[in-house]
A and B are shown apart, each in its own frame.
Chain A
Amino acid sequence: MWRGQGGKGFYVDYEIKREVGMVVLDAVHRVQASQANDLAVRWNCKAGKCGSCSAEVNGVPRLMCMTRLDSLPTDAPITVAPIKSFPGIKDLVTDVSWNYRVNKRIPPLTPKALTPAERLKGEFNMQQRDIDRVQEFRKCIECFLCQDVCHVLRDAEKATDPSLEGGFYGPRFMIRIAGLEMHPKDGVDRVPLTKKEAGIGFCNITKCCTDVCPEHIKITDNGIIPMKERVADRYYDPIGIIAHALGGNGKDKAGAAAEDGGAR
C-alpha cells in the first residue's frame, strides 16, 4: 500500500487475513483499524454509489469497494496506490478540487419557455425515450476514474491549468455538458462552451474513460463523439455554418449566439 504525503512516499507491506467476499476496501480498512490508524483513505457508501474510494489496484484504476480480492491474482501482493492524475495529499487521498472548480464553470440547466400545459402543472412534459441518454450521463458518481485515465489530463499539464482557459475539462465534464445539451428542455446553447473553454478538440477518442467507468456509461460513444459532431457541424462544416448563421440548423435551442457562427 502506498504511504506518503504531498506526492512523496513508498510502498509498505501489510498482511491481513482474507475472508469470503472481501473487497479491497475491506482489506484497507482492516489495515487501518489494526495496523495503521493514521492511514488516509476516502470512502462513504461501500456500495459503488458514491465514488469516493477510487484508487489504482494492481495499477488499474478502480473503486476499491467494488473490487473483490478473489478477482485478483493470489501469487503476488496486491498493490494499492492513489489515482495519479491529481496531486497526492496523503496515502490514498488526492486533491481532486480541480474537478469542483471545473464543474462550477458549467452553466446550470436553463429551461426554455414551457408549454401552457407544463406551466399549469409546473412540470416538464418529456417522453422517457427522449431522456434516456441524459439519464445515462447522470448516472455519473464522480469517482473521477475517467479523469484519472484521460491521456489529455495525464499528459498535458495545461489541461489542469488553474485558470482552465484553453484547457480540457475531461470526460466527466464532457458528459455533464452533454447531459445538459441533450436535455429536451434546456434553453442554453452549449456548443461554444464545448469547443472553447471545455476544449473538446483535445480528446483523441482513445476510450480509456469509457473502459474504466464503474457505471458503464458510454462516455466516448454516447457523449463525447456526438458533442464533437455538434462542434464540427457548427464550426467546420460549411453547410452547418451557413445554416446556423441563418438560425435554423435543425437544433432546437434558443439563443444560439450569432457571434459563434463563424468558423475559426
Chain B
Amino acid sequence: MSSFNPHDYDVVVVGAGGAGLRTAIEASARGAKTAIICKSLLGKAHTVMAEGGAAAALANVDSRDNWMVHFRDTCRGGKFLNNWKMAELHAKEAPERIRELERWGAVFDRSKDGWINQRNFGGHAYPRLAHVGDRTGLEIIRTLQDKGVHSGIDVFMEYTVVKLFKGDDRISACLAYERETGRFHLFNTKAIVLATGGVGRTYKINSNSWEYTGDGQALAYEAGADLMDMEFIQFHPTGMIWPPSVAGILVTEGVRGEGGVLRNNKGERFMFKYISPLFAKETADTEEEAKRWLEGDKTARRPPELLTRDEVARAIRAEVKAGRGSPRGGAFLDISWRDPEYVKRKLPSMYHQFMELAGVDITKEPMEVGPTMHYHMGGIRVDAESAMTTVPGLFAAGECAAGLHGANRLGGNSLSDLLVFGKRAGEYAARWAKEHPATKPPAPLAEAAVAEALDPFERPKGENPFTIQESLRETMHEYVGMIRTADELKTALEKIEELKSRARNAGAFGNRQYNTGWHASLDIGHMLVMAEAITRSALAREESRGAHTRDDFPKTDESKWATVNVVSRKTGDRMTTVLEPLPRWSEEAKRIITSKLEDVSTQAGGAP
C-alpha cells in the first residue's frame, strides 16, 4: 500500500495569504482545477497582520498622484535595484485590484467625497494607501477568503508541503503532510504557485508568525529555481521592544502617517538630521513645514519621519549608538499630541495592543520602539509578466518572490504586490496548465520523500528542534543583522554549517498527529537554506544599499553594484552565488525615475 493519498489538479497554490488566495481565485476563474494548500487555518496567514494599507495610485485624496509617481517612488525606495517591469505593472494595475476587492466585499475607509480614502506612508509622495483603520490586511484576507470559498477551489488547511517534483524537467507534483493526522498526500499537478511568504522566523526579533520559515523559497531552490537579492532584509523601524515577550511585534507605519514623531532620550525630534540627498528635495527640513504638511498644505514637503524604512531604521540605530536611545535601546514614537479620539479611530489596533500588552496609553504617552525583522525583499526570481520561476511550471507570487521591491520595500507596496502578482500568477499558471499535459506521477520518489520526512521519529532522543531553531535565530540576529561585515558574515557561515549537522540529529517524539516538534524539525531544513543564501548574498554585495548595510563597505557604489542582482542557486549539492545583470531599463522608465516629482505628477484636476 502506498504511504500517501493521491490527488490530481491543474494548479496547486501553496500558501493562503493574500497572494495565494488571489492566485487561486484567478486560476479557478480561468477554468483550472485548483487546490490551495496552507499550513494554518484559512484566514490566519500573515497578511492578517498587515496594518497600514495597500498602495495604489487611485488619486482619490490627492489628484497629483498617478501610476508614474507610484512607479518613481517604488524605484527610488528600492534604490533602483527593482525589476523595472514589475514595478511598472504593479503601479499600473494596483488601482484596479483594489477596486475589484471592493466589489468582492472589502469595506475601505471613505474619503470626504465617499470614495476609497488614502493615507500617507513612508516613501510615497502622496497619500496613496487604501486602508481600513489599521487592520487593512485582515480586510483583504477576509475578502479574498470569502470570495475564494465561492470560487470552486479545494482548500487543504493545515497541510504542509515538504517536496516538489519535476517530470520531463517541469513541475509534476508536490508532497504534503496533513497536520491533523500526520498522513501524506501527493498532489499531481501541471503547475505550482508558491505564495508562502517570508523568512522572518530565521531572526530573533521579528514581526512574523510561526509560518515564516522560507518554505517556498527553499522548496524552489531545491527544485532548481534561482533565488535573488537574498541580502535585502527589511528591518521595520518601529517594532515593540517592551515588555520582552512582545519584542518585535509591529507598530504600524500608519502611526507616522497620522503624525507620529520620533524622539530620542533628550526629547529631540532627530529625523531632520538623517535626510539623505536622494530625498532632500522632497522632505521638510523644519518642524514648522512638517506641521503644515500634516495640516494638508500642499506647498509643504513631507515630514522626515516618512522617509523610507531603511533610512528610518538606520537613523534610530545611529541615535542608539550615540547614546541617545530610549532606555531599552530604541526610540520614542509619539502620537499623543493628537486628539485622543482621532488616534483611537485611526489606529484602534495600536491603541489596544499597547494598552493590553504594555500597559501604555498611546493617546497620553509615547511608545518605545525599535527595529524588527519584518520583510524579505529577496526571494525566488520570477518573470515580470508571468510570475514563472526559472523552473518551468513553477510560479511564485507575494513576499516569497523577488524583484518588485529592489533593495528596500515601501510600506503599503506588499499588499498591492500580492494582489497584482497573485492575479498574474493565477492567470499564467492556468494558461500553462492548459498548454501542458500532465507528467508521470513521481510515485517512487514520493515514497522516498515520505521516509525522509519521517526520519526525525527515528531519533526520539535526538536534539530538541526548538533549541536548534533558537540557535539559528540568534546567529542570524548577531552576525547577519542590520549592519554587516565580512568577518561576521563568515562567522555566520561557519555557524550555519554547524547547525546543519545539528539539524541532521533533530529528533521527534510522540505520535504523528499535530506534532509541533516534528513540524519544527522539518522547518529547520528550509530555514537553513534561507540563512545560508541570505548570508552568502550579503557577503557577495560589497556595498551598502537600501536595507543592506556593510560596515566595511559603507558607500553605495553606483559604478558596479547598481546594475547587478545577486543570484543564489543549487549546483550539485552546493550553493553558488553569482552576479547577474539587472534587466535593461526602458528609456521611458529611465525618464520617469530621473524626472522631478512635479514633472511626473498630474498637474491639475487629474483624478481619473
Contact = CB atoms under 8 A, between A and B. Distances in A.
Contacts of B157: 97, 100
B49 A37 contact: no
Interface in B506-522: 508-511, 513-518, 520
Interface string B246-275: 100110000000000000000000000000
Contacts of A20: 243-245
A85 to B, nearest CB: 16
B99 A123 contact: yes
A46 B42 CA distance: 17
B464 A33 contact: yes
B552 interface: no
Interface in A36-93: 37-52, 66, 68, 89-91, 93
Contacts of A44: 40, 44-46, 48, 209-211
B608 to A, nearest CB: 7
Contacts of B133: 135
B132 A96 contact: no
A103 B149 contact: yes
A33 B40 contact: no
A21 B48 contact: no
B508 A37 contact: yes
B357 A126 contact: no
B104 interface: yes
B358 A21 contact: yes
B318 interface: no
Interface residues of A, number: 59
Given A37-B510, A43-B210, A183-B107, A51 B135 contact: no
A128 interface: yes
Contacts of A48: 349, 352-353, 356
A21 B42 CA distance: 30
Interface string A173-188: 0000001100100000
Most buried by A among B113, B243, B518: B243
B584 interface: no
B132 A138 contact: yes
A50 B96 contact: no
Given A44-B46, A131-B110, A26 B245 contact: yes
A46 B107 contact: no
A122 B107 contact: no
Contacts of A135: 107, 109, 132-133
B114 A127 contact: yes
A37 B249 contact: no
Interface in B284-311: none
B473 to A, nearest CB: 12
Contacts of A111: 103
B520 A37 contact: yes
Contacts of A139: 135, 138
Contacts of B509: 37-38
Contacts of A251: none
A41 B245 contact: no
B514 A89 contact: yes
Nearest to B146: A108
Interface residues of B, number: 69
Contact of A47 (B103, B116, B250): B250
A32 B520 CA distance: 11
A73 B497 CA distance: 46
Contacts of B243: 19-22
Nearest to A101: B149
A50 B520 CA distance: 21
B180 interface: yes
B114 A21 contact: no
Contacts of B465: 37
B43 interface: yes
Contact of A66 (B104, B356, B518): B356
B135 A33 contact: no
A126 B110 contact: yes
Nearest to A120: B608
Contact of B48 (A50, A68, A126): A50
A222 interface: no
Interface in B94-119: 96, 99, 102-105, 107, 109-110, 113-117
B105 A47 contact: no
A124 interface: yes
Nearest to B466: A33
Interface string B233-247: 000000000111110
B245 A109 contact: no
Contacts of B470: 33
Contact of A128 (B109, B210, B356): B109
B114 A125 contact: yes
Contacts of B467: 33
B101 to A, nearest CB: 11
B142 interface: yes
A219 interface: no
Nearest to A114: B103
Contacts of B517: 32, 37-38
B58 to A, nearest CB: 8
Interface in B125-156: 132-133, 135, 138-139, 142, 146-147, 149-150
B575 interface: no
A123 B97 CA distance: 11
B131 to A, nearest CB: 11
A249 interface: no
Contacts of A47: 49, 246, 249-250, 353, 357
Nearest to A180: B105
Contacts of A45: 44, 46, 48-49, 209
Nearest to A39: B516
B107 A138 contact: yes
B280 interface: no
Nearest to A186: B105
Nearest to A66: B356
A74 to B, nearest CB: 17
B454 interface: no
B445 interface: no
A66 B456 CA distance: 33
Contacts of A126: 110, 114
Which A-B residue pairs are the 9 nearest by beta carbons?
A21-B243, A37-B517, A38-B510, A109-B105, A33-B466, A40-B514, A125-B114, A44-B209, A128-B110
Interface of A: 5, 19-23, 26, 32-34, 37-52, 66, 68, 89-91, 93, 95-97, 100, 103-104, 108-109, 111, 121-128, 131, 134-135, 138-139, 141-142, 179-180, 183
Given A37-B516, A46-B246, 4 more contacts: A38-B508, A38-B517, A44-B46, A103-B149
26 contacts: A20-B244, A21-B245, A33-B466, A33-B467, A37-B510, A38-B510, A39-B516, A44-B209, A46-B246, A47-B246, A47-B357, A48-B349, A49-B48, A49-B135, A49-B138, A50-B48, A103-B149, A104-B149, A104-B150, A108-B150, A122-B99, A123-B99, A127-B114, A128-B110, A131-B107, A138-B107
